[in-house]
Amino acid sequence: MANRASDKITQICDNVWMCRSGSAADTQNVAAYVTRIANEHAMSVSSASSGAGDGLHVDVALIANVTKTIAYENKEKLQAGMIIAGWDRKRGPQVYGIPLGGSLVESPFTVGGSGSAYIYGYCDNTFKENMTKEECERWVASAISLAIARDTSSGGVIRLVTIDANGCERKMLQPSEHTVCDDELPAIKKSIDVSA
């Protein structure tokens, strides 16, 4: 059963998040396994460096490579596409796409899931380097809104996670807060009487 409002963004550690598409069971299990590995790695590094105590921060590229390895080694069994994004002290902000089959592509942005086919052109045409946080959040929300308008499997809410040197900020935009696309009807806030 598909749930258009399900949460497909999973926190791996303090500075790294995973966007999941494909089989929910497959991606949830991959996320849980990668989270365990990330936590074990962060704790061992933290204790080896005299317990710096600044949370569980892990290199984003390391998490992406662990995820890619799991996806690639199980490509015949998994229906899992993932995006790993985060910020670390070594390389700053990073985004990695891990599509079905387990390849790994680092890029300034990536899209995945069934709605991505509808927005590649929009993203390629409107992406610009060095956006402010607010510009980037508006750009991502617009892209997801376009995917929702065209793809029956894309979610009814927009979930955003912004990751930078100051930490992570999570937002959820209800359908009434989305940009209306083309001939799409705006969402109506209305209570439903279920007592009848």
Average pLDDT rounded to a whole number, residues 22-48: 88
Among candidates 9, 165, 167, 147, which has minimal Cα distance to 84? 9
Q: Which two tokens stand for residue 135?
A: 């510009």
Q: For residues 81 and 112, give the distance between their C-alpha atoms in angstroms, rounded to a whole number.
A: 7
Q: For residues 131 and 146, give the distance between their C-alpha atoms in angstroms, rounded to a whole number.
A: 20
pLDDT value at residue 153: 74
Q: For residues 172 and 181, give the distance between their C-alpha atoms in angstroms, rounded to a whole number.
A: 19
CA distances from 3 to 53, 113, 157 (A): 38, 14, 11
CA distances from 120 to 50, 52, 117 (A): 45, 41, 6
User: Mind listing the pLDDT tens digit for each residue in 129-160?
Assistant: 999 999 999 999 999 988 888 887 776 788 99
pLDDT value at residue 81: 95
Helix (H, G, I), strand (E, B) or coil at 184: coil
φ/ψ of residue 11, rounded to 5 = -80, 125
Which is it for the CA torsion 129, 151, 162, 90, positive or negative? negative
Whole-structure pTM over 0.75, yes or no?
yes
What does the angle CA 40 – CA 18 – CA 76 come to, to the nearest 5 degrees? Answer: 90
CATH of 9-177, one of 3.50.50.60, 1.20.1290.10, 3.90.1570.10, 3.60.20.10: 3.60.20.10
Mean pLDDT of the chain: 86
Domains of the chain, by residue range, sit at 9-177
Cβ atoms of 11 and 17 closer than 8 Å: yes
